[in-house]
Chains A and B, each alone.
Chain A
């Protein structure tokens, strides 16, 4: 069984929700990536989303775009990301690892070559932002055949019919984009998110993660109340950019934020459990 599925089942048994931090591989420097991944796991991350830097990250806001630029300036590439994944896996056999990025680097490497390399590196899921299900059939099949979950986005604008179509092809979890905008955008309406998640659940049994615009522990807790997973990216990546020259402080503050989110999510779940009981 895929590590992602195993992880969600374990969380569900314990009445907890997944915290999924996103960082861009190679940002601010390639040698800092794996230590930060381990630190995030210690801080309570359940799954790590590792961004594959791309020169033209169209669905991302300025924070992730700058992270991509920093990583690329240090020579990071898709092959480099797979090396980092392998390195992470050597000392962490359990934490699910999802690569998130854009299609062109994968096209350039070749789908088959990428899929087998990702499998061998211990990657558990792949989210290709600019590959919607209409264009994804073969790629998703190749991933699944190699034990890797093809992960897809859902948006506030996604119709019921498309939700069904996407859910059929998706494995691992579905990633609901909580607002109309790019990563790191400003406002998130938890009421709207809750309503949309309820509608999505009528079409799928897959766990639902929510991301884009979750910046602080209270929002993380509010989203955890209605979703199965909370994805935090730009808030962490902002710190990594600001503190790029002070790796020790960067690590400390990134861990502090992740820990605060973890605790807020768990407190909220615990009090919810008491109320239910």
Chain B
């Protein structure tokens, strides 16, 4: 056996008790929120291994969300690309059409047990907002979703869905009027209404314990994938690919495979108009470490530390930060982070739609666009699992507009 020159990291042991992934993560919030985070963390630590809580969660995931989601072999698209076999983890088939509901079902169970009666959430593409409004309707809780005015415009369908579900969609017109500003506004609401309000963060970012808690709710994606690939093929996939905005669908897929060093892992960011144009949201590819929204992580900021406006055709990836675990995985080299442009993502969108009859979300289309580059470099007996994190119905107006079509 080779001498242990490199200290092997056991990825299941992170974050540490104070929420750190190496130098990333932590809890960088005003004192006004610290007690609420303690309360949340204690409740979460109490329930995360509680058989009754987990039993109820499994039941909801099976009967309300529709899990397990299938793994689908995209044979025709694989043949067209002429390389590795491509498998889609069909998170688009979840109730509400994306992976986001895995997390909100879990957090809502926790909120109810904590005696909270009001749910608040931030949303970019609207998928997390819809998933939050959905669980709030089911539990009869008040729900307020903060959403940037720019995002409200480009995601009108999801805004209407949230309102149908009884949620209040609160427009946020400050800053860049997108996801980061919605998050600021949700934090302000939480500080003000901390007694009765539960803040459901939609991604693996924010102060501890959110990156850990959201990861655990989303890791069902990777656990199922592992079992399904082992059952069907008797071995693990060669590569995993997922899009990364905040990074919750990606961590959900990646985490159960982190200790399997033979599985290559790729996170795909939004290069927007191209990284060298400055109009992008490729935080890990082009950013630097800093502190925002309660955690230390990679950020896109100017030389004075001011957060910059991002751009992506996909509202769900349009965020200048990223979950701290991704920052850590990047530095360790365990996962590779790449970026694809708006145009490439749109090509991925069309390619899957035409070859497999599945319309993907623009977020997921970024992962597909990278698969289209990666697959031809691999052998036909190798397997790639790509997380099809959401369906594309919400995006058809955006795509049509970009292509000059009036619906």
Stretch at the interface among A8-16, A126-134, A225-233, A255-263: A126-134
Most interface-central of A102, A106, A130, A135 (chain B CB within 10 A): A130
Q: How far is the CA of A181 from the CA of B197 in the complex (A)?
A: 13
Q: How far is the CA of A11 from the CA of B361 in the complex (A)?
A: 63
Please name all residues of chain A whose beta carbon is closer than 8 Å to the beta carbon of B394 when the two chains form the complex.
none
Question: Would you call A154 and B290 a contact (CB within 8 A)?
Answer: no
Flag whether A166 is at the interface (Cβ < 8 A).
yes
Task: Give the nearest-CB partner of B193 in chain A.
Answer: A180
Flag whether B28 is at the interface (Cβ < 8 A).
yes
Flag whether A78 is at the interface (Cβ < 8 A).
yes
Question: Would you call A79 and B304 a contact (CB within 8 A)?
Answer: yes
Known: A152-B31, A182-B191. A77 touches B304 (CB 8 A): yes
Question: Would you call B31 and A177 a contact (CB within 8 A)?
Answer: yes
Known: A78-B304, A134-B18, A182-B192. A155 touches B32 (CB 8 A): yes
Flag whether A103 is at the interface (Cβ < 8 A).
yes
Q: How far is the CA of A233 from the CA of B73 in the complex (A)?
A: 60
Question: Would you call B175 and A56 a contact (CB within 8 A)?
Answer: yes
Please name all residues of chain B whose beta carbon is closer than 8 Å to the beta carbon of A199 when the two chains form the complex.
none
Question: Would you call B307 and A108 a contact (CB within 8 A)?
Answer: no
Q: How far is the CA of A56 from the CA of B306 in the complex (A)?
A: 8
Q: Which of B1-49 contact A (CB under 8 A)?
A: 18, 26-32, 34-36
Cross-chain pairs A/B with CB under 8 angstroms, 15 sampled: A57-B184, A59-B191, A69-B175, A103-B28, A104-B290, A104-B299, A104-B305, A105-B304, A108-B304, A130-B28, A134-B18, A177-B30, A177-B31, A180-B32, A180-B195
Please name all residues of chain B whose beta carbon is closer than 8 Å to the beta carbon of A69 when the two chains form the complex.
174-175
Q: Which of B40-99 contact A (CB under 8 A)?
A: none
Contact of A154 among B27, B31, B307 (CB under 8 A): B31
Known: A58-B29, A135-B27, A177-B30. 14 other contacts (CB 8 A): A56-B181, A58-B184, A69-B174, A78-B304, A104-B292, A104-B305, A130-B30, A130-B291, A154-B31, A157-B36, A158-B35, A180-B192, A181-B32, A182-B188
Question: Would you call A158 and B31 a contact (CB within 8 A)?
Answer: yes
Flag whether B333 is at the interface (Cβ < 8 A).
no
Please name all residues of chain A whose beta carbon is closer than 8 Å to the beta carbon of B301 when the two chains form the complex.
104, 108
**0/1 string, A66-105, CB within 8 A of B gives 1:** 0001001000011100000000000000000000001111
Interface residues on A, range: 35 or more
Q: How far is the CA of A275 from the CA of B106 in the complex (A)?
A: 59
Please name all residues of chain B whose beta carbon is closer than 8 Å to the beta carbon of A79 when the two chains form the complex.
304
Please name all residues of chain B whose beta carbon is closer than 8 Å to the beta carbon of A106 when the two chains form the complex.
305
Contact of B31 among A56, A57, A61, A155 (CB under 8 A): A155
Q: How far is the CA of A61 from the CA of B292 in the complex (A)?
A: 17
Task: Give the nearest-CB partner of A153 in chain B.
Answer: B31
Flag whether A22 is at the interface (Cβ < 8 A).
no
Please name all residues of chain A whose beta carbon is closer than 8 Å to the beta carbon of B18 when the two chains form the complex.
134
**0/1 string, B172-186, CB within 8 A of A gives 1:** 001100001100100
Nearest CB of chain B from residue A160's CB, rounded to whole Å: 12
Most interface-central of B31, B34, B292 (chain A CB within 10 A): B31
Contact of B29 among A54, A65, A132 (CB under 8 A): A132
Q: How far is the CA of A105 from the CA of B306 in the complex (A)?
A: 7
Q: Which of A225-277 contact B (CB under 8 A)?
A: none
Please name all residues of chain B whose beta carbon is closer than 8 Å to the beta carbon of A131 when the two chains form the complex.
28
Q: How many A-B residue pairs have CB under 8 A?
A: 119
Flag whether A185 is at the interface (Cβ < 8 A).
yes
Q: Which of A133-183 contact B (CB under 8 A)?
A: 134-135, 152-155, 157-159, 162, 166, 177, 180-182
Q: How far is the CA of A134 from the CA of B34 in the complex (A)?
A: 10
Flag whether B378 is at the interface (Cβ < 8 A).
no
Task: Give the nearest-CB partner of B303 in chain A.
Answer: A108
**0/1 string, B298-319, CB within 8 A of A gives 1:** 0101011111100000000000
Q: How far is the CA of A59 from the CA of B34 in the complex (A)?
A: 12
Q: How far is the CA of A162 from the CA of B38 in the complex (A)?
A: 11
Most interface-central of A54, A72, A79, A182 (chain B CB within 10 A): A182
Q: How far is the CA of A57 from the CA of B28 in the complex (A)?
A: 13
Q: Which 9 A-B pairs have the closest CB atoms?
A: A108-B305, A105-B305, A157-B35, A77-B304, A59-B30, A153-B31, A181-B192, A55-B306, A155-B32
Q: How far is the CA of A129 from the CA of B293 in the complex (A)?
A: 12
Flag whether A44 is at the interface (Cβ < 8 A).
no
Task: Give the nearest-CB partner of B321 in chain A.
Answer: A56
Flag whether A120 is at the interface (Cβ < 8 A).
no
Flag whether B147 is at the interface (Cβ < 8 A).
no
Q: Which of B278-303 contact A (CB under 8 A)?
A: 289-294, 299, 301, 303
Flag whether A107 is at the interface (Cβ < 8 A).
yes
Q: How far is the CA of A210 from the CA of B195 in the complex (A)?
A: 22
Nearest CB of chain B from residue A193's CB, rounded to whole Å: 14
Known: A104-B292, A105-B305. A58 touches B188 (CB 8 A): yes
Please name all residues of chain A whose beta carbon is closer than 8 Å to the beta carbon of B174 when the two chains form the complex.
62, 65, 69
Please name all residues of chain B whose beta carbon is closer than 8 Å to the beta carbon of A57 when the two chains form the complex.
184
Flag whether B133 is at the interface (Cβ < 8 A).
no
